[in-house]
């Protein structure tokens, strides 16, 4: 079966510290992977998407970056976190054709 794993579930980091969130997918090959961020009480903002290894597209220029080192691995990073980076980060796997999206459990990031 197809599953998507995301960790950690919660994270509290000081301003200026680095960030690494990892997302892995099982049960499929060459998935289309996405990182979304959700501020409190708001909708999902698309940050990055990747259609293959080493292929990253950014929707919103900001303090974050993404990498796709392996087919089923998608990583969200930052060199120096800002307070405004706080939010709920979701990794998603969208089936080719956009017929459905599966989400990871999400990471609640609080920058203090």
Touching other proteins, residues 30-69 (CB under 8 A)? 32, 34, 36, 41-44, 46, 49, 51
Taking the least distance from each CB to other proteins, the nearer of 42 and 79 is 42
Q: Is 109 in the site for other proteins (CB under 8 A)?
A: no
Pairing of strands 101-103, 87-94: antiparallel
Task: Please tell me the number of Cα atoms within 13 Å of 88 on its side-chain side.
Answer: 12
Range 79-98, binding other proteins (CB under 8 A): 88, 90, 92, 94-98
Q: How far apart are CA 44 and CA 65, in angstroms?
A: 17
Q: How far apart are CA 75 and CA 67, in angstroms?
A: 5
Among 19, 104, 109, 111, binds other proteins (CB under 8 A): 104
């Amino acid at each position: 079966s197809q599953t998507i794993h995301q960790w950690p579930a919660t994270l509290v980091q000081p301003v200026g510290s680095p960030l690494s969130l990892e997302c892995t997918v099982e049960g499929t090959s060459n998935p289309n992977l996405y990182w979304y961020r959700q501020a409190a009480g708001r909708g999902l903002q698309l940050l990055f998407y990747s259609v293959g290894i080493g292929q990253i597209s950014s929707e919103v220029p900001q303090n974050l970056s993404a990498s796709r080192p392996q087919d089923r691995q998608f990583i969200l990073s930052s060199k120096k976190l800002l307070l405004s980076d706080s939010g709920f980060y979701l990794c998603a796997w969208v089936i080719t054709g956009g017929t459905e999206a599966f989400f990871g459990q999400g990471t609640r990031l609080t920058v203090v």
